[in-house]
Structure 1
Amino acid sequence: MIQGFRAITFDELVESYSEQIEALIDGGVDILLVETIFDTLNAKAALFAITGIFEKIGYELPIMVSGTITDASGRTLSGQTTEAFITSLSHLPLLTIGFNCALGADLMLPYMKRVSRFSNFYTAAFPNAGLPNAFGEYDETADDMGKKIKKFLDEGCINIIGGCCGTTPEHIKVISEIVKNYKPRKK
């Protein structure tokens, strides 16, 4: 088996994540979000660090995990399908699992439907406000994004919804108004 090149070891990642996690907990966070996961091995290092810190401090916080689908193949950068992503993390005590970044709501919806179908965790989605234009800016209006987010709710595939790149307070305001009319997905 040919292994991909890594410029950092698993243990070095765990050490780095441990420092960050301790600082966040010392700062008073009430939830930990491991997000924009392109490579599940990195996520596992972060989650290994989190569980180690929990053992050290004697209590736990809720953990959210959010991967990133990078292209039309529907896979993470390291090649995992939605189902493989969920399976590789399903042994952990997660609050939510889902996706963020890289895709607008319309392109993310099919993957969140799969997450909802295959996961026993609550689900979370944080799509971009569309895709970036030639200048790296996001042109999707709050109302347009809201219409696309409504489809997530109509499908009953999410528990937590928000936004990632290009999302403004206006986008979040529109989304918050839309979700008032829906019940969260049942696990």
Structure 2
Amino acid sequence: EALVEGGADVILVETIFDTLNAKAALFAIDEYFEASGERLPLIISGTVTDASGRILSGQTVTAFWHSVRHAQPVAVGLNCALGAALMRPYIQELARVAPDTFISCYPNAGLPNPMSETGFDETPADTSRLLHEFAAEGLVNIVGGCCGTTPDHIGAIANVVAPLAGRAVKRTFFYAEAA
């Protein structure tokens, strides 16, 4: 309620490690939307924690999508925990199983690495190159960065994806601005 009253343009439920908690948040959001008659775009973003391809509560990316798709988000995606290189197969899977919504991806700047200058594995050039590949392959619509990314990362990402078209989605949205 406070987010809507404060002028939020979108509701973002992110860094989801536990789908049950996410479903509780989505239920509360839906209850508010129904009671208030207001409705904002909803973005849902899970977090794959390791090479198992599962969020911490044990679900695969496909199972995660099927658990939250009832909320009809304008976008579903993945963020945090992994760098873009390690996130690629999970973004590919999500793009495959969720053809009717936009896909977001905002990875860490790689994995934490105390030996690197930035404390993470991926430089701005690395992260932007990888996210450019995702966009060029038609996997994503919304890109950015999470832990370890800097303004230089975000600037580099914006520069390389700006000329590209987003992933094609066939869907009727409940608000015209999303289309």
TM-score, with structure 1 as normaliser: 0.85
Stretch moving more, 61-70 or 165-174: 165-174
- Per-residue deviation, residues 78-127 of structure 1 (Å, max 9, x unmatched): 11011101111122221100100000000111111111111021110010
Partner in structure 1 of residue 42 of structure 2: 63
Partner in structure 2 of residue 93 of structure 1: 72
TM superposition shift of 1:181: 2.2
- Per-residue deviation, residues 144-185 of structure 1 (Å, max 9, x unmatched): 211111221122100100110011111111111101221000
Alpha-carbon separation, structure 1, partners of 2:63 and 2:42 = 19
Matches within 5 A, 1:33-112: 33-112=12-91
Partner in structure 2 of residue 172 of structure 1: 154
Letter in 2 for 1:128: N
Asked if 2 retains the 8 angstrom alpha-carbon contact of 1:32 and 1:63, the reply is yes
TM superposition shift of 1:139: 4.5
Letter in 2 for 1:50: I
Letter in 1 for 2:74: L
TM superposition shift of 1:54: 0.8
- Per-residue deviation, residues 12-63 of structure 1 (Å, max 9, x unmatched): xxxxxxxxxx121121111000000011100000000101111122110000
TM superposition shift of 1:137: 2.8
SS at match of 1:91: helix
SS at match of 2:12: strand
Asked if 2 retains the 8 angstrom alpha-carbon contact of 1:113 and 1:155, the reply is no
Could you say what the CA RMSD is over the residues aligned between the two structures, in angstroms?
A: 1.4
Alpha-carbon separation, structure 2, partners of 1:114 and 1:44 = 21
Letter in 2 for 1:81: T
Larger radius of gyration: 1
TM-score, with structure 2 as normaliser: 0.88
User: Between Structure 1 and Structure 2, how many residues are aligned?
Assistant: 166
Partner in structure 2 of residue 142 of structure 1: 124
Alpha-carbon separation, structure 1, partners of 2:133 and 2:144 = 14
SS at match of 1:103: strand
Partner in structure 2 of residue 27 of structure 1: 6
SS at match of 1:127: strand
Alpha-carbon separation, structure 1, partners of 2:10 and 2:135 = 24
Partner in structure 1 of residue 176 of structure 2: none
Unaligned runs of 5+ in 2: 170-179
Runs of 4+ that moved beyond 2 A = 134-140
Over the matched positions of the two proteins, sequence identity in percent amounts to 53
Alpha-carbon separation, structure 2, partners of 1:122 and 1:148 = 18
TM superposition shift of 1:132: 0.6
